Structure 1
């Protein structure tokens, strides 16, 4: 291995470039500090000896050093401005987050307000269909609408404990929704208008024609009716209301509106949306079914025993009526002379 030669004691070891640079910088710094101190002392001396000259020298010195001070302060000013910009950006970010949070809260409140307004409109429309002559049984919420094999049903949040019974009409905010079919203790099932087995007696509000709104198992109804006038016909927009026939549904409840008058039979759209019934009213049947009272059969009458004396006049009267009937059917016989019967001789 090559070894470095030992340093000579008479001549110091050679310094590296980094050491020389550090020493040069230290020397320049000391020289600059000395110049500044000397200049400051000179300015103080001039201020004491000749104040006017000292003032002019300070002004000239400030004018001469101002560009240098500006250049020297430029990085500091840039750092300060950068810090200010970063702080402002962070403030803007925080403010933006706060505004976004407030915006989301406002959107939620607006959606809730819109939902409540819609619910209020539906409740007002539902109350507008209420009539004092009809008996309200319960109010419920319709949910869990099912559609399978032509059946359209929904579940109501009211049952036997609320007084609900089968065959009761169900009225929504748009109009008639259907009728109750099955009842449980706390819930019940209803058949919607669009069920394939649904038949609603209705009439055309404009013409008074009566017919049936028949469920199709889909979303529309068929209006089956007999044409009552050859000069008029069903039009698009005609409203169908319950006629009251059959006594189950009250008359005058909106049911549907005609949307296709050219079809055979005409097609109608239910006014109560089957998929969004919401709060509904369950009413008693308009005319409850008659209740037949069982009457016990009459007791058979006992045969009467007729006495012979009483039977003779009855037989004579019967024979007389029969003879009169026969005499009316035969020609009258000529009158005969009456013969006297001789009295019986005494023995």
Structure 2
């Protein structure tokens, strides 16, 4: 890539989608983007998520090198849905954690287990601004390579199910191996992800989401004229949520690992030929109980008629076999 010098004050986050142009992209990537053949497609949402505004960019450097990019911004617009989504992301620091994962944690993990690269999107850059609070993440666009999301209810092939479970084992293993090699617990390697006293941003963000966020969700349902019966049922579920998530993100000695935190089928990208998967949306990465990741993944990838003991045990065995095959650090 041909580097260019960009004044610091030229780097900003677009207030309007039209501002995602070759000049702005050159400034944040530090390369020369050609104004020719520059195409930015707004509202290119990936999957069913609504917590980001996605802009798909097709462009090339001045030397002709093609680039296919995803620009991930905070939700934009004036609707109540947008305000609700933006509040969740900012209050719970989802964007901060995703940027921290790609820029700090991921480089450490691939030093331990390089094959994790096979499951990841290419990360170019990401940063946060204050006053006004905003964020941007720029990543490689996998759609031109034939990747697509699997929406909940459309199930994975047998190969894709097994590959997703293998990824989970490799990711958990790499975090435990990193802990072993550095001879430090994960909460000391990444203090911004976990604190035993629950006073740091990540655990606070989960409680913010599940206390304040769910209350705002009820207000959102009211604005959308949802029935009283539906809202009453939703509120009846709330008291059970805090103890569940308190247990999930409690330090559990040797059973603690890095967890994705939201690895259901919609956060997997699969290639058209079914031979490869990518894992996206690292906004909830944390230190916690790896069984949470496994439970969310297995429930979302197995069709209801196959959600039986023998099927679950088969996938659990695959997880443990994959983990143990990698274990050359004396980890039990």
Using the size of structure 1 for normalisation, the TM-score is 0.17
Task: Write 1 or 2 for the structure with the bigger share of helix.
Answer: 2
TM-score for both structures, normalised by structure 2:
0.18
